[in-house]
């Protein structure tokens, strides 16, 4: 096939997003289409898999193959798809609840497994879709209907987990900077193995104060660390709202058990002969 | 007193950790197959992970057997440590002999009461010369008493230990021969098998789990993801290298939620995909099965049932996941439920499950159970089924919008795989319209629900939905591994002059109402048999079918399977 020059708009589907006006996820959608255009991805050879939540509605808005699955289960679906179809470019997406709470186990194991998938987590530190319950990243004193006095729980440091669990590319970005975000997404897609991009993406409805992130975020101040230990330093002691690429690893991606593990059918059948 | 020869002999070999009773059983099974007999082997183990006491439960016969007999003719107990753990599964037949060590201690009460003869042998002394192991001695003694040729035993030992070196083969063979010679002295206790029919064609020794794996492989499964669980793990262990060898792969997932969703992802990408689990795993997969139903992604789940609920009795059988398999989904999620009827049938029914699932773009659950899954059985080498994963897919999409969930006549909609130009769509568990766009409209929900229902309900499943034999006003109906006991009991009933119609269901959902009701025509009494406490199968039959007026049920929970004797008694009662 001859290579087509595609514009970001070519990667938008005709479906209108259900998001609230001003939701950070619009910026993510825009950045994704820019990144796809930059990489000239063929829509038919690209698959976008998500779970459930406001953020997870995104596949339908993208012109590519999509899978809008179950709350928390985007990563296993993406993993099965990528292993069975290594020819596809596979991305997984969802919110902080989707990926870090109900899908937390898959998140950890996807990092460890290191299949060549790019994960985008739209972190708004709240459950948007179910109207404002605390998520694993919600600040301990943030009041909700469920916990009027806050959760008193320490927020989860998901990027630290990603680093120690073996993710091969780790970045924090901001939806209010679609161009910077597009660069990072393109870089993550090109990086072999499992890539995690945490996107600060405001929920203007249940966390209106996050509108201020556009003044607070320190854009693109982070650079890839020299070691996982150094990268850990950055995500554990550095400023929370600083963005940039934090880690680029060189672990080879996992593609399956490998041919050597195979046994031919004839030999297996011989094993039954009595 | 030497006895007349038998068409079926049962024996148990038990012992504490390291005695190798399972290996002894395998050797005897291999030798029996070589000599032209049929037979089966199951193992009973205590709760310990490894080592610990175990019993090899065996049945050899001149005809194909699918279940244990009711009682054992020979019990060879290396020792009696924790014997009570399996004594409930080892009832001794009239005239049964017990062979044990001279100094192995007192017999358990139940054994002492029922054994007609106890033979105490100086096991240690007998092993002095060859320095072999007691299990090979047992194989030799039992081999002699049941009338297996010594050569067949030696051949089995050579094959079984081939990879472990000559020295072991030699010691083991010599020890077996010591046992065989010892058996010679016990011939007044002989439990000799009648001569076998001449063996025509190849025989296999295979268990239901391997058979299910083979069925999946022959149907063209290319991707499996699963989380280890007893008693399904052997399927995974067999399939993993097999799939790799066939250009596919098996992935050990982090849990069953991942297993089911990984296979959904792989299948969305076009790879026929499967997982295997047991009850607790099936429960965890329920949400994923709902997704596969809604998004119309073919996947097959093999459930090797075990005692439940919760962790239950992981190593023992029961037919109690029927309720959850049929009705355990959230919302209304039409799906296929099939059940293998024997070890051999695990091949065909698994292949059929994969075939139907792919054909109808729906999830399929294939029910097996611990008994069938882990029972090693001698059978004629089966023909591999010609049931393949044949999914119809769209080659390309034109100008007009592609409708992934179009309301077609058959209810099966055109499926495009990623990579197909022009057909990009988002598969969705959210209710959607024909073009896969999420919708909360009454009309879309009704139309899509009906379509998903119709494609399964209206499909012609042919004759394989059940195995039916015999005729007359008394019918016996069952499913799964209980079919083995029913088959044997029905044969005995016929021999006793009681006519029985037997029906073994293979396709449980969608229920084949018209077909079953036709099969029940003229039936006055229907006897329903199953291995469950509450009668799940009877409840299923009552809710989906119009049954004859006179319905009787017989069921009890595992870990004891329903036996042929129990079935025969129930038949006699129903016939009287
Ligand atoms: C099994 C299951 N449990 C609960 C829900 C309800 N639910 C839907 S979205 C969601 C939280 C979403 O939060 P997040 O992932 O942060 O996404 P956001 O809406 O904030 O973008 C919950 C709890 C569900 N759909 N499925
Ligand atoms: S609720 Fe919050 S996260 Fe959801 S669409 Fe509205 S602004 Fe965005
Ligand atoms: Mg959120």
What is the DSSP-derived secondary structure letter of residue B262? H
The CATH 3.40.50.920 domain(s) of chain B lie at 466-575
Interatomic CA distance for residues B208 and B345, integer angstroms:
8
pLDDT of residue B238 exceeding 50? yes
Q: Report pLDDT for B188.
A: 87
Cβ <8 Å between A47 and B223: no
Interatomic CA distance for residues B394 and B419, integer angstroms:
11
Please report where in the chains the tokens 């794996």 appear, as a residue: B213
Residue of A45, A80, A104 for testing the chain B interface, max B β-carbons within 10 Å: A80
The CATH 3.40.50.970 domain(s) of chain B lie at 205-380
Helical (H) or strand (E) element with B354: helix B345-360
Interatomic CA distance for residues B224 and A84, integer angstroms:
10
B501 to chain A, any CB pair closer than 8 A? The answer is: no
CB-based burial label for A169 (10 Å; 0-12, 13-18, 19+): buried
Interatomic CA distance for residues B203 and B378, integer angstroms:
7
For A11-273, CATH gives 3.40.50.970
Nearest residue CA, atom 1 of ligand 2?
A: A128
Q: Report pLDDT for B399.
A: 66
Quick check: B530 and B557 in contact, CB under 8 A?
no
Question: What does the block give as tokens for A265?
Answer: 């059918």
Backbone angles phi, psi at B505, to 5 degrees: -80, 135
Backbone angles phi, psi at B401, to 5 degrees: -65, 135
Quick one: which of B33, B353, B302, B372 has its CA closest to A272?
B33
For B8-189, CATH gives 3.40.920.10
Chain A contacts in chain B segment 436-455 (CB below 8 A): 437-438
Q: Report pLDDT for A2.
A: 44
The CATH 3.40.920.10 domain(s) of chain B lie at 8-189
Interatomic CA distance for residues B267 and B272, integer angstroms:
6
Q: Which member of A67, A106, A264 has the closest CB to residue B258? A: A106
Residue ranges in chain A modelled with pLDDT below 70: 1-4
Pairing of strands B376-380, A46-50: unpaired
Mean pLDDT of B109-131: 92
pTM above 0.90, yes or no: yes
Q: Which CATH number fits domain B466-575: 3.40.640.10, 3.30.450.40, 3.40.50.920, 3.40.47.10?
A: 3.40.50.920
Averaged pLDDT score across all residues of chain B: 95
SS3 B552: strand
Q: Which residue of B has its CA nearest to A78?
A: B265
Radius of gyration of chain B (CA): 26
Interatomic CA distance for residues B523 and A271, integer angstroms:
45
User: Ligand 1: which of A27, A58, A102 to mutate, most ligand atoms within 8 Å of CB?
Assistant: A102
Interatomic CA distance for residues B386 and B238, integer angstroms:
21
pLDDT of residue B1 exceeding 50? no
Quick check: B365 and B337 in contact, CB under 8 A?
yes
Q: Which member of A60, A108, A258 has the closest CB to residue B426? A: A60
A199 lines ligand 1 (CB under 6 A): no
Report how far ligand 2's centroid is from the alpha carbon of A20 (Å). 5
- How many A/B residue pairs have CB atoms within 8 Å? 184
Quick check: B380 and B202 in contact, CB under 8 A?
yes
Strand order in the sheet with B550-555: B466-469, B501-505, B474-479, B525-530, B550-555
Tell me the ipTM for this assembly: 0.98
Q: How many angstroms separate the CA of residue A103 from the nearest CA in chain B?
A: 10
Quick check: B361 and B297 in contact, CB under 8 A?
yes
Q: How many angstroms separate the CA of residue B51 from the nearest CA in chain A?
A: 25
Interatomic CA distance for residues A195 and A182, integer angstroms:
14
Q: Report pLDDT for A1.
A: 44
Quick check: B305 and B255 in contact, CB under 8 A?
no
Report how far ligand 3's centroid is from the alpha carbon of A194 (Å). 21
SS3 B51: coil
pLDDT band at B67 (very low <50, low <70, confident <90, very high): very high
SS3 B275: strand
Report how far ligand 3's centroid is from the alpha carbon of A78 (Å). 20
Q: Report pLDDT for B190.
A: 84
A124 lines ligand 1 (CB under 6 A): yes
A130 lines ligand 1 (CB under 6 A): yes
Backbone angles phi, psi at B128, to 5 degrees: -60, -45
CB count, 10 Å around CB of B2?
9
Q: Which of B78-82, B345-349, B493-497 has the lowest mean pLDDT?
A: B78-82
- Sort out which chain B residues have CB atoms less than 8 A from A261's CB and list them: 240-241, 244
Interatomic CA distance for residues B508 and B368, integer angstroms:
13
Interatomic CA distance for residues B40 and B64, integer angstroms:
9
Q: Which member of B210, B243, B427 has the closest CB to residue A67? A: B427
Cβ <8 Å between B426 and A67: yes
Quick check: B524 and B539 in contact, CB under 8 A?
no
Interatomic CA distance for residues B483 and B562, integer angstroms:
9
Nearest residue CA, atom 2 of ligand 2?
A: A203
Q: Is B18 left (phi over 0), alpha (psi -120 to 50) or beta?
A: left
Cβ <8 Å between A273 and B204: yes
Domain parsing of chain A, residue ranges = 11-273
Q: Report pLDDT for A3.
A: 56
Helical (H) or strand (E) element with B180: helix B166-184
Pairing of strands B72-77, B8-15: parallel
- Sort out which chain B residues have CB atoms less than 8 A from A81's CB and list them: 265-266, 268-269, 418
Quick check: A234 and A246 in contact, CB under 8 A?
yes
CATH 3.40.50.970 fits domain B205-380: yes
Quick one: which of B369, B382, B212 has its CA closest to B300?
B212
Interatomic CA distance for residues A209 and B104, integer angstroms:
79
CB count, 10 Å around CB of A211?
14
Backbone angles phi, psi at B536, to 5 degrees: -65, -40
Question: What does the block give as tokens for A72?
Answer: 């928390």
DSSP per-residue letters across chain A: -PPPP--GGGGB-SPPP-PPTT-THHHHHHHHHHHHHHHT--GGGEEEEE-SSSGGGGGGGBSSEEEE--TT-HHHHHHHHHHH-TTSEEEEEEEHIIIIIITHHHHHHHHHHT-S-EEEEEE-SSBTTTTSB--TTS-TT---SS-TT----PPP-HHHHHHHHT-SEEEEEETT-HHHHHHHHHHHHHSSS-EEEEEE---TTT-GGGGGHHHH-EEEEE---SSHHHHHHHHHHS-TTEEEEEEE--PPPP--S-GGG---HHHHHHTTB-
Cβ <8 Å between A60 and B242: no
Per residue in B440-490, pLDDT (tens digit) is: 999 999 999 999 999 999 999 999 999 999 999 999 999 999 999 999 999
β-pair partners for B92: B72
Question: What does the block give as tokens for A182?
Answer: 């597009």
């Amino acid at each position: 096939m001859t290579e087509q020059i595609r514009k970001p708009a070519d990667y938008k589907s005709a479906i209108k997003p259900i998001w609230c006006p001003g939701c950070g996820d619009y910026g993510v959608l825009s950045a994704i289409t820019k990144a796809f255009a930059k990489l000239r991805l063929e829509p038919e050879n690209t698959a976008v898999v998500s779970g459930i939540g406001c953020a997870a509605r995104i596949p339908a808005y993208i012109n590519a193959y999509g899978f809008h699955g179950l709350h928390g289960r985007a990563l296993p679906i993406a993993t099965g798809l990528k292993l069975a179809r290594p020819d596809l470019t596979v991305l997984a997406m969802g919110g902080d609840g989707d990926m870090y709470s109900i899908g937390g186990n898959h998140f950890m194991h996807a990092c460890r497994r290191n299949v060549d998938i790019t994960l985008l987590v739209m972190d708004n530190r709240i459950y948007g879709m179910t109207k404002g319950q605390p998520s694993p990243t919600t600040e301990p004193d943030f009041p909700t209907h469920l916990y009027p006095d806050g959760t008193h729980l320490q927020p989860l440091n998901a990027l630290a987990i990603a680093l120690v669990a073996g993710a091969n590319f780790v970045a924090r970005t901001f939806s209010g900077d679609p161009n910077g975000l597009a660069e990072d997404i393109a870089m993550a897609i090109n990086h072999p193995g499992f890539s995690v991009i945490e996107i600060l993406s405001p929920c203007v409805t249940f966390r209106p104060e996050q509108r201020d992130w556009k003044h607070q975020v320190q854009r693109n101040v982070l650079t890839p660390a020299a070691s996982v230990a150094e990268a850990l330093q950055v995500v554990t002691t550095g400023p929370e709202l600083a963005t940039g690429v934090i880690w680029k690893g060189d672990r080879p991606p996992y593609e399956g058990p490998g041919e050597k593990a195979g046994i031919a059918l004839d030999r297996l059948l011989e094993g039954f002969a009595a | 007193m030497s006895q007349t020869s038998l068409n079926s002999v049962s024996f148990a070999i038990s012992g504490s950790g390291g005695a190798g009773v399972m290996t002894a059983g395998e050797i005897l099974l291999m030798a029996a197959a070589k000599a032209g007999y049929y037979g089966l082997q199951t193992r009973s183990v205590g709760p310990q992970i490894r080592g610990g006491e175990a019993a090899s439960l065996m049945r050899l016969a001149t005809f194909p057997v699918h279940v244990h007999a009711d009682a054992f003719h020979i019990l060879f107990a290396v020792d009696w440590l924790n014997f009570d753990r399996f004594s409930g599964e080892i009832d001794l037949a009239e005239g049964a002999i017990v062979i044990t060590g001279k100094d192995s201690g007192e017999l358990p009460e139940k054994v002492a009461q029922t054994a007609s003869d106890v033979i105490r042998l100086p096991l240690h002394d007998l092993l002095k010369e060859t320095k072999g192991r007691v299990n090979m001695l047992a194989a030799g003694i039992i081999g002699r008493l049941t009338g297996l040729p010594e050569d067949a035993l030696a051949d089995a030992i050579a094959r079984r230990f081939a990879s472990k070196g000559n020295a072991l083969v030699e010691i083991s063979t010599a020890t077996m021969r010591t046992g065989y010679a010892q058996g010679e002295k016990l011939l007044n206790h002989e439990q000799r098998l009648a001569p076998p029919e001449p063996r025509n064609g190849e025989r296999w020794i295979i268990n239901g789990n391997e058979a299910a794996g083979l069925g999946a492989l022959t149907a063209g499964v290319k991707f499996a993801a699963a989380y280890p669980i007893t008693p399904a793990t052997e399927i995974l262990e067999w399939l993993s290298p097999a799939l790799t060898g066939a250009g596919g792969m098996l992935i050990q997932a982090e849990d069953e939620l991942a297993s089911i969703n990984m296979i959904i992802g792989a299948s969305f990408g076009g790879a026929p995909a499967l997982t295997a689990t047991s009850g607790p795993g099936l429960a965890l997969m329920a949400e994923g099965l709902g997704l596969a139903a809604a998004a119309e992604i073919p996947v097959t789940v093999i459930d090797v049932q075990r005692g439940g609920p919760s962790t239950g009795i992981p190593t023992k059988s029961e037919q109690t996941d029927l309720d959850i398999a049929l009705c355990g989904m959230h919302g209304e999620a039409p799906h296929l439920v099939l059940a293998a009827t024997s070890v051999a049938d695990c091949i065909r029914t698994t292949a059929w499950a994969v075939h139907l699932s792919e054909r109808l773009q729906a999830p399929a659950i294939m029910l097996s159970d611990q008994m069938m899954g882990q029972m090693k059985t001698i059978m004629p080498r089966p023909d591999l089924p010609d049931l393949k994963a044949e999914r119809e897919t769209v080659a390309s999409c034109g100008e007009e919008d592609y409708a992934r969930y179009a309301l077609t006549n058959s209810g099966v909609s055109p499926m495009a795989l990623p990579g197909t130009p022009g057909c990009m769509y988002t598969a969705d568990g959210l209710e959607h319209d024909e073009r896969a766009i999420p919708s909360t409209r009454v009309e879309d929900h009704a139309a899509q629900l009906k379509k998903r229902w119709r494609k399964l309900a209206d499909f012609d499943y042919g004759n394989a939905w059940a195995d039916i034999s015999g005729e007359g006003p008394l019918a016996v109906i069952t499913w799964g591994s209980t079919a083995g006991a029913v088959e044997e009991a029905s044969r005995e009933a016929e021999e006793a002059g009681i006519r029985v119609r037997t029906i073994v269901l293979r396709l449980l959902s969608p229920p084949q109402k018209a077909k079953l009701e036709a099969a029940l025509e003229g039936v006055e009494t229907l006897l329903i048999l199953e291995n469950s406490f509450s009668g799940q199968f009877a409840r299923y039959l009552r809710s989906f079918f119009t049954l004859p007026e006179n319905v009787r049920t017989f069921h009890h929970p595992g870990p004891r399977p329903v036996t042929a004797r129990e079935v025969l008694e129930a038949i006699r009662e129903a016939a009287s």
